[in-house]
A and B are shown apart, each in its own frame.
Chain A
Amino acid sequence: MSHFSELMNHNRVTRTRQRKAANTIMITLTGLVTALALVPLFWIIGYVVIRGGKSINLDFFIHLPTPMGVAGGGVLSAIEGTLVVMLLAAIFAIPPGVLAAFYAARYPNTPLGVALRFSTDVLSGIPSIVVGLFGYAVIVVPMKHYSGLAGGAALAVLMLPTIIRTTEEMLKLVPHTLREASLGLGAPEWKTSLSVVFPAAINGILTGFLLALARATGETAPLLMTSLGNERFDIGQIIRSGIQSHLSVFQIIWKIINQPVDSLPLALWKYAQQPYPERVNLAWAVALVLMLFVLIVNITARVWIQNRTQRMKG
């Protein structure tokens, strides 16, 4: 054996030992850091479940808040208010968001397409409190009162960039060959977009909606300046009195959305800063409900989408 290969052999043995040691150290290190990153997550979830779980019972979901010092009561107003505001936000944000995404995916290099991409990037970076202020100036001030409508509009502005970008990405993932197959049969562009491209991308698009909705559900700042909060908000009561005074369906709906409404994050924020232990406990419970709300929306969506995908693939 030559001197060179002897040296090489020697080196190989020590090198291997060094490499193995480095490997062990790095795996331990990255594993530890990963575990560390999970600590706050489980800490938050665990803490909220323990502190909030104590105050949760059926009353909590079906009663309005009681006046301070009166035992019992729930957060029905906040749950209903959140549902109303989220529904409005979805109605305001989804149709224009999807249409804009279609345009951006089809004509990415036109001036309008470039402008759209740039402005969604800018929009997604705007602090939510600024969006709230915008809703205040544009809707609350002219209407002269706070309303669920204004809250829904503010959250819609927050959701818009997420919806546009995820929808656009999903539309771009649809293979070009599918479009060609449809156009090759003589289908016009709009028909191809509507009945081939959109259905092929629908799962990803729905995921985008739900992510945007879940994020917006937890927003507090914009709602402070738009839907204000309203512990007396009770949809059942509005409907009953509306029927009694012979209002039409539209008038009743208008009444629901045209007044200040409560919402879970607002209730949480309000209760948490009050000096009464039972109110603080209520805040923990609200936090738990909010968390569960987002979690349930996410899980049902994922399961539903998975089933759809499997049915598509056969």
Chain B
Amino acid sequence: MAELLDLQAWTCPVPLRDSPTIVMGHGGGGQMSAELVDHLFIPAFGGPAPGGLADSAVVTLGGSRLAFSTDSFVVRPLFFPGGSIGHLAVNGTVNDIAMSGATPAYLSCGFILEEGTELAVVGQIAQDMAEAARIAGVSIVTGDTKVVDSGHGDQVYVNTAGFGLVPDGVDIRPNRAQPGDVVIVSGAIGVHGIAIMSVREGLSFGSDLVSDCAALHPLVAAMLSVTKDLHVLRDPTRGGLATSLNEIAVAAGVGVNLVEKSIPIPPDVANACSLLGLDPMYVANEGKLVAFVPRELADEVLEAMRAHPLGAESAIIGECSEEHPGMVVAKTGFGGTRVVDTPLGEQLPRIC
């Protein structure tokens, strides 16, 4: 068992000195989450993966390339318009695997259940997982269950891990983005996060917005049938589109230029965000992907995406450039310029 890390030995010029304890921001998917990984976990586990941190890791075993991923689900509420923690648990890991271009095959699942949780709740979640797995064509082949005392753990926490085979000739990872690449999003953003918020205590809306939770590997397969040379795929979950694009820009050392008008946002999402003072670019998605595609293939890939039900509203939203490496910049509706930065922690509703 590793000894406690020696904080003095951290080389980062701005260590987590302002926060000796874990705060909610560490789970937000933004800068604080990244720092926790970069400065606490990676040094402990022996250095970054080759290719940079992606949704899944591509490893070689016995001559086969596997994409391997894990994800934990702590969403509140457990059941929301369009799905539940069960659907998320399966599709979340399935999508992470798909973002390496692999076809997801097998999943594990681990449950941490709080004493006192109703069996019917756990049963429904299991049903939802089975349903999602069936639709995604994956098998849940192993699992584990632990129970914690009442008051510890929020009814149900789920972890899933999984892997799938990466086809030959496919090499999709964040640092493959290059100047000239076209950025395509597979549909309208912000849907899942707003659907969740519509139920969460204190922020309820009366709208028909449902989560976009879905398994994306069939869409990826359609894209790969046009070309194996997709450079980057990412499903923008926590932290939203802005976070994913920033991570890719930094990993690849490229600048990303967006055209705001071309980013599809459903009116309900836009209006809910206006009301709360949120920016849709930072709101979570669970059934969308963003792709960095070589320029000369962009139109064909886009067409294939639009022909698929999961990508019917796909749109080109920008491109990579050599300028401002590591930064994402957007042209606003008026031709103004706006820097789209990574959020620090969670995005919160504001009054100003």
The answer to whether A and B belong to the same complex is no
Binding site for A on B (CB under 8 A): none
Binding site for B on A (CB under 8 A): none
